[in-house]
Amino acid sequence: MNWSETLRTSWAAVRSHGLRSLLTVLGILIGIAAVILTVGLGLGTQKDVSASISSLGSNLLIVSPGSSTDSSGVRGGFGTSATLTAADATALASSVNAPDIEGVAAEKSTSLALEANDTNWTTTVTGTTASWLDVRSRDLIAGEFITDEDQASQAAVTVLGSETATELFGTTNVVGQSVTIDGHTFEVVGVLASAGSDSSSNLDDVAIVPLSTAANQLVGGTTANSVSTIYLKAASDGQLAAAYQEAEAVLLNLHSISSADSADFTISSQNALVDTATSIYQTLTVLLTGVAALSLLVGGIGVMNIMLVSVTERTREIGLRKALGAPPWAIRRQFLVEAAILGLTGGVLGAVLGMGAALALPGVVGSSIVISPEAVGLSIGVAIAIGLIFGVYPATRAARLAPIDALRSE
């Protein structure tokens, strides 16, 4: 009995119980689909993160407030206090203290209601300075950005994100229009080009105002002088490490903190964000892979179960084949191939389901899913291997049946 006959016989056996075979491979099917989706989601999210990060510029450092230690010695968490000020930003901009830092942009953000022509829209209002456009690697599609004069005179001018402009006016052609922010009237002087989303926010839904205006008219109070984030742009990728050390030294000095361990700020780079994102997705991948592995294990046990049933049902056939001259290895091979076909069927169906979901899901979950041909090929291979591994015991049992007992069975 050669391979093609073994394949034909085994395929006929699988097909003769179509529904049962399908139900049997369901576990493998789900497992394989989960593997393909997991891998695709991991790769897709990584792609999204690195795309959004490289659009922001890889030579960017982000200074965030936080990690202050209070009088009783309890160290606060990240971002728990307003320790950064506009003065910090000014000091960092000094080419003497920080020669490797090319641009500095402090941000002071708050969520406020905007109103134009009776349309209301709540968005992030960000106070910043003229350098923001360059530091954040953004472009304008209309008008101009806020200027140093606007900053000096606390001008009531704003630059809108493209989505914000569309929500308020139905168009991005809005330069010269008026918009009311928190009761104050601002003139729209420019509109930002679209930049998509980063991992935490929509970069196109924003209203930029001069930092001085934000501090004095929109936020005010005791936190008026604080800023929420300072963005630093290193002169080049290679100067990122130097820029980091300069920024840390300047801020520690300015805040009168002797040890970097007790710093009341945190400096992170985009690379650190990539690393963080990667490690999160690796954890997620390990978790989902565990789920997929469990599902495959259950699927494999299902295959073993149904193969044992198949051996029992076909005991007479096994006896007959043995009487007609089938050696034990031929019987074993027949059942192994049958189990492998079950695994293959589950694998192929699972791959189809996984790829279909990979095409359909991005629209729902808002994250891209990359179909990796290697993952598809490998998981189908794994499915066949599962069939084979869990088929060994039933096939061996079939091969060991005594011909007389098998022939006599009812």
Partner 1 sequence: MTTTRAIANGNMPDKEYGEPVIELTAARKVYRSGTIEFEALRGVDLEIRQGEYVAIMGPSGSGKSTLMNILGCLDTLTTGHYRLAGHDVDDLDEAELAEIRNKEIGFVFQQFNLLPSLEAWRNVELPLMYARVPGHERRARAERALERVGLGSRFVNKPGELSGGQQQRVAVARALVGEPTMILADEPTGNLDSVSTEDVLGLFDELHDLGRTIVLITHELEVAQRARRIVRVKDGLIQGDTAEGALLATVAGGAA
State yes or no: residue 12 binds partner 1 (CB under 8 A). yes
Does residue 3 contact residue 322 with C-beta atoms inside 8 Å? no
φ, ψ at 235 (rounded to 5°): -60, -35
Find the binding residues for partner 1 in span 57-116 (CB under 8 A): none
Q: Tell me the closest approach of the beta carbon of residue 403 to partner 1, in angstroms.
A: 5
Stretch 205-244 residues interacting with partner 1 (CB under 8 A): none
CA atoms within 13 A on the CB side of 262: 12
20 binds partner 1 (CB under 8 A): no
**Of 113, 149, 180, 329, which lies in the binding site for partner 1, with binding defined by CB under 8 A?**
329
Question: Assign residue 140 a region: left if phi > 0, alpha if psi is -120 to 50, beta otherwise?
Answer: beta
How would you classify the pairing of strands 184-192 and 157-160? parallel
- HSE-up (13 A, CA, CB side) for residue 205: 16
Binders in 380-409 for partner 1, by CB under 8 A: 402-404, 407
Least Å distance between CB 321 and partner 1?
7
Residue 14 CB, nearest approach to partner 1 (Å): 12
Q: Find the helix or strand (DSSP H, E) in which 162 lies.
A: helix 162-169
Binding status of residue 325 toward partner 1 by CB under 8 A: yes
Q: What minimum distance in Å lies between the beta carbon of 9 and partner 1?
A: 9
Among 170, 196, 327, 381, which residue interacts with partner 1 (rule: CB under 8 A)?
Answer: 327
CB of residue 24 vs partner 1: minimum separation in angstroms?
Answer: 19
CA atoms of 148 and 396, how far apart (whole Å): 83
Q: Which residues contact 245 (CB under 8 A, 6 or more apart)?
A: none
Stretch that binds partner 1, among 30-38, 249-257, 296-304, 328-336 (CB under 8 A): 328-336
| Distance in Å, CB of 391 to partner 1, minimum | 20
Q: Which of residues 262-321 bind partner 1 (CB under 8 A)?
A: 316-317, 320-321
Instruction: Annotate 295-327 with DSSP letters as a single string.
Output: HHHHHHHHHHHHHHHHHHHTHHHHHHHHHTT--
* Contact residues for partner 1, defined by CB under 8 A: 1-2, 5, 12, 16, 316-317, 320-330, 402-404, 407
